[in-house]
């Protein structure tokens, strides 16, 4: 699990980032990124609806996305708030497919 300092926990802030942030999409998820003050911890929020699948599939996808977010934080990610909204294709994608799409957005 991500430490609280690296999570977006307020629903209003989650919506604000989703609406105002710069969006990029893959086949598996849509990422909205909103710049914050330089040097502030990078924060992530995740939205995984029931359209993705049942509880087991949704929770597995959230765990995978959180792990990828944690790897970004370990690499020094900071100064941005990020909301990741999962798409139905993400529920059936392998970890390798998700990781490849993630790298395409965060390390072009």
What is the pLDDT, as a whole number, of residue 59? Answer: 97
Sign of CA dihedral 45, 25, 105, 33: negative
Which pLDDT tens digits describe the chain residue by residue (108 residues)?
A: 789 999 999 999 999 999 999 999 999 999 999 999 998 999 999 999 999 999 999 999 999 999 999 999 999 999 999 999 999 999 999 999 999 999 999 876
What's the pTM value of the predicted model, to 2 decimals?
A: 0.93
Domain boundaries, the chain: 4-106
- CATH topology for 4-106 is Ribosomal Protein S5; domain 2 (3.30.230)
- The β-bridge relationship of strands 29-35 and 22-25 is antiparallel
Query: Which strands make up the sheet holding 22-25, listed edge to edge?
Result: 22-25, 29-35, 80-86, 43-47
- List 42's β-bridge partners, or say none: none
What is the pLDDT, as a whole number, of residue 1? Answer: 77
Which of 81, 84, 63, 62 is CA-nearest to residue 73?
A: 81
- List 29's β-bridge partners, or say none: 86
């Amino acid at each position: 699990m991500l430490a609280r300092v690296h999570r977006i926990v307020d629903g209003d802030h989650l919506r604000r980032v989703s609406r105002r942030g710069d969006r990029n999409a893959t086949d598996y998820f849509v990422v909205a990124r909103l710049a914050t003050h330089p040097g502030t911890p990078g924060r992530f929020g995740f939205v995984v609806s029931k359209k993705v699948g049942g509880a087991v599939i949704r929770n597995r996808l959230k765990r995978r996305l959180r792990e990828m977010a944690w790897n970004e934080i370990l690499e020094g990610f900071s100064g941005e708030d990020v909301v990741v909204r999962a798409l139905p294709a993400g529920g059936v994608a392998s970890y390798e497919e998700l990781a490849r799409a993630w790298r395409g957005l965060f390390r072009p």
